[in-house]
Chains A and B, each alone.
Chain A
Amino acid sequence: MADHSSTYEPKSATAKWWDERLPIMRLLSDQMITFPTPKNINYLWTFGGILTVFLLLQLVTGIILAMHYQPSAAEAFNSVDNIMRNVNYGWLIRNMHAVGASMFFIAVYIHIFRGLYYGSYKAPREILWILGMLIFLAMMAAGFMGYALVWGQMSFWGVTVITNLFSSLDGIIPGLGTAIVEWLWGGYSVSGTTLNRFFSLHYLVPFVIVGLVVLHIWALHMTGQNNPTGVEPKTEADTVPMHPYATSKDLFAMFAFFLMFAWFVFFLPDYLGHPDNYNPANPLVTPPHIVPEWYFLPFYAILRAIPDKLGGVIMMFGAIAVLFFIPWLDRSRIRSARYRPIYKWFFWLLVISCLALGYLGAMPAEEPYITWARIFTAYYFAHFLIVMPIVGVLEKPKPLPASISDAVEGGKSSSGASAHKKN
C-alpha cells in the first residue's frame, strides 16, 4: 500500500554504503518481502506471478530461437524444421515457446476474469486495469506475429486474413484501407518482406510488455492488492508480509501450473496448434478451413458473426476496446461479486458467452453456428454496456464484512497474532 513505510535496515557497512547510493535492496525488501498482502487472497491471486515467470520464459526461449531462426520467405519454414530436428534441444525450446504462448494466454484469461469477478478494476485501481489491458493487447500482437514466423499455411493465411481486416477501411474512405494494407505488407501481397518486419516487431513487442509489466506492478504496489472481499485492509492484522506467505503460495501454484505446461510440452506439443501449419506457406492455395490460434477464437467469432465487412472489424476491435472502459461502466460501489447477488449470475453468463464464442470461432462459418455467435456476441456487449451500468444501480448488495479479518474469522478475533496463525 502507498502508506507502507520502509522497514528496511541495512545490516552491514556495505549494505549501508549501497543503501545511501542505490537503495535497490531497500526497494526489494519493501516491495517483495515486507510488502503487506491481504491475508485472504486465494489461489486466483497467484496468476500475476505465474504470468511474470511465463513472460521471462518466453523472452529466454525466444532469444534462443532467434539464434537459429531465419526470417526469410525461402528459409523460415525450413529453419523451424531445422530447430526441431537438428539443433541441440531445439525441439524442447521451441515447444516451450509455442506451448508457453498458450499457457501465457490461459493464465492471462484467468487473471482477467479474476479481476472482473472481484472488481479489481474499480477505484483506485483503474490505471492498474488499463495497463493490464495494454499488456493484453501487446500480447495479442506478439502472439499473432509469432505464429506468422513459422511460415506454414496457417501462418501465411492468418497474416493475410488479419492484415486484410484493415482493408475494410475502404468502406469509409475508398483507397485508405488498401493503402494501409499495402503499407503493412510492404508489397501487394503477404511476402518475405512482411515476414521480416514481423520478426523484427515480434522481437520488440515483448520488451514493450516488460515495460508495461513494470508499470503494472508499480501501480499495483501503489494501491495494494485487491482481495476476495473487495474490502481494503484496515489494520495490520488484515495483511501478512508478502514473503514468505504470498511468495510460497505463488510458488506452489506455479509448480502446479508448470506440471500442466510440462504435460503439453512433452506429450502434446502440437495439440494447441493446427496441422495445416506443417505445410509450408503457399500463396496460391488457401487451406479449406482457416482458424486462428485458440486464444483469438472468441474475437474471431465476433468478427464472423457480423454480416458486414467494416461492421465485423469494428465489433471485433470494439470487443477489446470496451474492456478499457469497464472501471467507469460498472456503477456498483461494491467490488467483489461475492456480495453482489444479481451481478454474480451475469458474470457467469459472460464467462459462458466467452467460452461459447471460443467454441463457435473454431466451427465453420455456417448455420447454426452463426446465429449462436450472434446471440453470444450480443450478450458480450450487453454485459459491459447494459448490465454493468444498470445492475450496479438496481442491485441491493449483501452486507460487507467490517474487515478482512472479520470475513475470514467470522468476526471472532482480529488481533494481529491470531490473524497470522490463522493464515
Chain B
Amino acid sequence: MASDTKDPNRRDFLVVAGNTFAAIGAASLIWPFIAQMNPDAGALALSSIEVDLSPIKEGQAITAMWRGKPVFIRYRTAEEIEAAKKVALDDLADPIARNENLKDPASAPATDQNRTIEGHEKWLILIGICTHLGCIPEGQKISDARGDFGGYFCPCHGSHYDTAGRIRKGPAPRNLDVPVITFITDTKIKIG
C-alpha cells in the first residue's frame, strides 16, 4: 500500500494507524496464550505449609514437601553446630548466607548464625535441592553418605555440603537455599 506521492497523505496515515491498532490488538491477544502457562491459582494456593517439629529428636531429620520441593529439616547435634561455627568464612566456596529470612540475603555472610533462624540455631532448614543441577542431596538419613563435611552429599556430581548446608567441595555454585520460615511456636513452623 505504498503511496505514489512522496509526501505522507491521509491514506498513509490511515494505513499506519490501522496497522498499529491491529498490531496492538494481536499483541494483547497473545498475552493470555502465554500467561496460561504460569502457575495457576491452584498452585499459588499451596504456597505455604505448616510443619510440627515436636516429634523430631536431636540428630534426626525429616523432609517436608513445599511447592513440590523437598525441605530438609534437621535437628542438629551440639557437635554439628560446633563444627559449623568453627569454619572460617575464607574457607567457604560461597560466602553469602542465601537465607530468605535475613534483611539482606544477597550479601549477609554465610556464618552459621546467618544460615539459621535467630533463637532456633539447632534447626537447620533448607531447600533440599542441590544448587548445581537440581538433584536431591543425601544426608537426611543417618545411614546416608554425608560427604566430607558431615552435612549433605549430592551423588549426581559430587557436591559436598557442611552441617550448615554450605557448599564446601564439588561443582555446586551456591549454598543450599534457606526458605522463608516463621516459628509459630518453638516446635511448629510455617514454610513460605
Q: Which residues of A contact B (CB under 8 A)?
A: 60, 64, 67-68, 82, 85-90, 92-93, 244
Nearest chain B CB to A90 CB, angstrom units: 6
**Are B36 and A64 closer than 8 Å at their CB atoms?**
yes
Which residue from chain A places its CB closest to the CB of B39 in the assembled complex? A88
Q: Which residues of B contact A (CB under 8 A)?
A: 1, 32-33, 35-38, 40-42
**Are A82 and B32 closer than 8 Å at their CB atoms?**
no
Nearest chain B CB to A234 CB, angstrom units: 30
> CA–CA, A85 to B35, complex, Å?
14
Using Cβ atoms and an 8 Å threshold, which residues of chain A touch B37?
67, 88
**Are B42 and A88 closer than 8 Å at their CB atoms?**
no
Contact of B40 among A64, A86, A92 (CB under 8 A): A86
> CA–CA, A85 to B37, complex, Å?
14
> CA–CA, A93 to B29, complex, Å?
11
**Are A93 and B40 closer than 8 Å at their CB atoms?**
no
Nearest chain B CB to A405 CB, angstrom units: 26
Which residue from chain A places its CB closest to the CB of B42 in the assembled complex? A86
Contact of B36 among A82, A85, A90 (CB under 8 A): A90
Contact of A86 among B1, B32, B41 (CB under 8 A): B41
Contact of A244 among B1, B32, B38, B41 (CB under 8 A): B1
Contact of A89 among B1, B35, B42 (CB under 8 A): B35
Nearest chain A CB to B183 CB, angstrom units: 31
In the A-B complex, the 4 residue pairs with the smallest Cβ-Cβ separation, listed nearest first, are: A89-B32, A86-B41, A86-B40, A86-B42
> CA–CA, A284 to B35, complex, Å?
39
27 A–B contacts, CB within 8 A, in A order: A64-B33, A64-B36, A67-B36, A82-B40, A82-B42, A85-B41, A86-B41, A87-B36, A87-B40, A87-B41, A88-B32, A88-B35, A88-B36, A88-B37, A88-B38, A88-B40, A88-B41, A89-B32, A89-B33, A89-B35, A89-B36, A90-B36, A90-B40, A92-B32, A93-B32, A93-B33, A244-B1
> CA–CA, A239 to B58, complex, Å?
89
Nearest chain A CB to B54 CB, angstrom units: 34
Using Cβ atoms and an 8 Å threshold, which residues of chain A touch B36?
64, 67-68, 87-90, 93
Contact of A60 among B1, B33, B35, B42 (CB under 8 A): B33
> CA–CA, A87 to B40, complex, Å?
5
Using Cβ atoms and an 8 Å threshold, which residues of chain A touch B33?
60, 64, 89, 93
Which residue from chain B places its CB closest to the CB of A96 in the assembled complex? B32
Nearest chain B CB to A99 CB, angstrom units: 15
Using Cβ atoms and an 8 Å threshold, which residues of chain B touch A92?
32
Using Cβ atoms and an 8 Å threshold, which residues of chain B touch A60?
33
> CA–CA, A244 to B18, complex, Å?
15
Nearest chain B CB to A174 CB, angstrom units: 50
> CA–CA, A316 to B38, complex, Å?
45
Using Cβ atoms and an 8 Å threshold, which residues of chain B touch A82?
40, 42
Nearest chain B CB to A84 CB, angstrom units: 11
> CA–CA, A60 to B41, complex, Å?
22
Using Cβ atoms and an 8 Å threshold, which residues of chain A touch B1?
244
Question: Which residue, of B32, B35, B37, B41, has the highest number of chain A Cβ atoms within 10 A?
Answer: B32
> CA–CA, A86 to B36, complex, Å?
10
Which residue from chain A places its CB closest to the CB of B37 in the assembled complex? A67
Using Cβ atoms and an 8 Å threshold, which residues of chain B touch A85?
41
Nearest chain A CB to B93 CB, angstrom units: 39
Which residue from chain A places its CB closest to the CB of B41 in the assembled complex? A86
> CA–CA, A67 to B33, complex, Å?
12
Nearest chain A CB to B178 CB, angstrom units: 29
Using Cβ atoms and an 8 Å threshold, which residues of chain A touch B42?
82, 86
> CA–CA, A85 to B42, complex, Å?
9
Nearest chain B CB to A142 CB, angstrom units: 21
> CA–CA, A219 to B109, complex, Å?
72
> CA–CA, A64 to B30, complex, Å?
12
